[in-house]
Structure 1
Amino acid sequence: MDEKKIEEELKKIWDEIPVSHSDIEKKACWEEFQAKTFAVKKPKFKVWRYVAAASVLLFMLIGTGIYFNRSPLQDNFYLASNVIENTSLKTQTVYLPDSSRVRLSSHSTITYSNNFENNRKIILEGEAYFKVIKDKKHPFQVFCNQTTTTVLGTSFTVKEYNKKEVSVELYEGSVQMNVKDQNKKWILKPGEKFIYENNIAEVSLFNRFTDFDNEKLSVVSDYIIANYGYKMAIPQEYNNQRITVRINKKEDLKTIVQLISEMYNLKFEINEELKQITFR
């Protein structure tokens, strides 16, 4: 087989590889490979040269498959080694290298790079609540489907529905929303919800608080069990004590416990192993 025939066969293999990218860029990659492999004419035909060329082509096709078939949002992540997947049925708390906290919902995954403190970018699949440490020099970004949520320091929830819809609920601070291939940006305020579905983005309001209006303290105890998984042990004489309070739905458990202790002049102890809060 002569050199021209080998080149034609390799080109045929290249063209048959399906990629989710533009034909222009695919063609440019082939031309680069072609120039390096066939530009210099050797006086003698050597089979090993084209075996090597085929190997290079195979390597480039594998690399191109990685490049062309990954999402553009994943450019900084496809080599990342930090992948955390919550396979349990309960919410999992994850502390990131910058001390930001993530409550990762069941069957959800986050991916971030090794140099996270300087490159605070996360890919989310599923649902998670983020409590972000402020760092003006390094904005915190969450990529989910076609959307990007950018923050400096705040708390918010990002949720993905069946790989088609994304919703972002802001509890504190502010975030900027961007959508792939759209120039418009949306700045959310606390209590606003961003929804992206079927290439349409909209902002609406949601209730970010839980209100207790003259409720028994035991009702708050039930709320903590249901939302945080911790039992509350209260002195019997306080069981019928009434409370009126507004709680951020994503408030830290310790903040709620401290609030109760201050309102009723009680001391408390949190047992992490037993997941129990004891007031005295």
Structure 2
Amino acid sequence: MDEKKLEEELKKLWNETPIPHSDSEKEASWEQFQSKTFPSKKQKFGSWRHYAAAAAILIFTLIGVGLYFTNDPISNNIEIVENTIENTTSIIKIVALPDSTKVELSPNSKIMYATNFAVNRKVEISGEAYFKVKKDKKHPFQVFCNETTTTVLGTAFTVKGYPKKEVAVELYEGSVEMSVKNQDKKWILKPGEKFIYGNEIASVTEFNRFLDFDNEKLSTISTYIESNYGYKVTIPQEYYNQRITVRINKKEDLKTIVQLISEMYNLNFEVNEKLKQITFQ
């Protein structure tokens, strides 16, 4: 194939590619490509490698332009070669994603994530989950739920949104950016703020992310741990009526709470993961 024929074929392919440009934009972009690939009518390609290189440049350019115009970060029509985690039990399921992000998946909920998750940290959710995201500045973490997108770097938050229901995002730590499909506005949440989207209306309100124990019996915290973390707690009988005043994050790590009790009352503790039991002594 001679140079003229190659140029004609490449331009035909260029114009037939379904890129969302006007005809004038396509013509201008073609002229730019043509000037770089065919700088002079007198210059001849030395071998088939040059033809292959020109075709490769075209394909790469088309792919790049296509991605630029179609990769809408707030679109929920993303394609994920998915791995699915579903919680069909009646208790919270704790899982770790490939990047070490911790997820507490509520009953009747599921998440889907890409196979190449290390570089494509996108998650789709149906239901409710709490995310404690592993920091990775080079690969932002995104959660897609109905028509909303939550974009984070490293933080802790809950997302709740069942099909055809409103979406609620509660931020416990860090910062997240909220966006809605087909809307230009973005919302930056601070810890203690809640984003709600339903019936095409978005709003931000405050919520109480802390739990206060004000002069409560120590056994009350034992009951709280069992109800919210699934671990049975045993404390010495003589400590049952000990009083405690403390404020904790509702999504605090269990380890932090246990260590806090241990230090406040000078108690040792043992955790039996198999039996899901914590014993203070």
TM-score normalised to the size of structure 1? 0.73
| Structure-1 residue corresponding to 2:264 | 263
Task: Tell me the amino acid that sits aligned with residue 143 of structure 1.
Answer: F
Q: Distance in 2 between matches of 1:148 and 1:251?
A: 24
Does structure 1 residue 104 correspond to structure 2 residue 105?
yes
| Structure-2 residue corresponding to 1:52 | none
Q: Distance in 1 between matches of 2:224 and 2:105?
A: 20
| Structure-1 residue corresponding to 2:79 | 76
Task: Tell me the amino acid that sits aligned with residue 78 of structure 2.
Answer: D
Q: Deviations over 1:145-196 (max 9, x none)?
A: 0000001111000001442310000011110000000000000001100000
| Structure-1 residue corresponding to 2:168 | 167
Q: Distance in 2 between matches of 1:75 and 1:210?
A: 37
Task: Tell me the amino acid that sits aligned with residue 232 of structure 2.
Answer: K
Q: Deviations over 1:97-127 (max 9, x none)?
A: 1101000010111000111111110000010
Displacement of 1:76? 3.1
| Structure-2 residue corresponding to 1:137 | 138
Secondary structure class of the residue paired with 1:181: coil
Number of aligned residue pairs: 210
Q: Distance in 1 between matches of 2:158 and 2:128?
A: 7
Q: Distance in 2 between matches of 1:207 and 1:164?
A: 23
| Structure-2 residue corresponding to 1:249 | 250
CA RMSD between the two structures? 1.6
Q: Deviations over 1:123-149 (max 9, x none)?
A: 000100000111111110000000000
Structure 2 unmatched ranges of 5 or more: 1-19, 21-73
Task: Tell me the amino acid that sits aligned with residue 174 of structure 1.
Answer: S
Identity of aligned residues (%): 71
| Structure-2 residue corresponding to 1:199 | 200
Q: Distance in 2 between matches of 1:88 and 1:218?
A: 28
Q: Distance in 2 between matches of 1:132 and 1:279?
A: 30
Matches within 5 A, 1:179-194: 179-194=180-195
Displacement of 1:225? 1.1
Q: Deviations over 1:9-67 (max 9, x none)?
A: xxxxxxxxxxxxxxxx9xxxxxxxxxxxxxxxxxxxxxxxxxxxxxxxxxxxxxxxxxx
Matches within 5 A, 1:212-227: 212-227=213-228
Matches within 5 A, 1:53-132: 73-77=76-80, 79-80=81-82, 82-132=83-133
Displacement of 1:212? 0.3
Moved over 3 A (4+): none
8 Å contact kept, 1:74–1:123? no
8 Å contact kept, 2:75–2:182? no
Secondary structure class of the residue paired with 1:164: coil
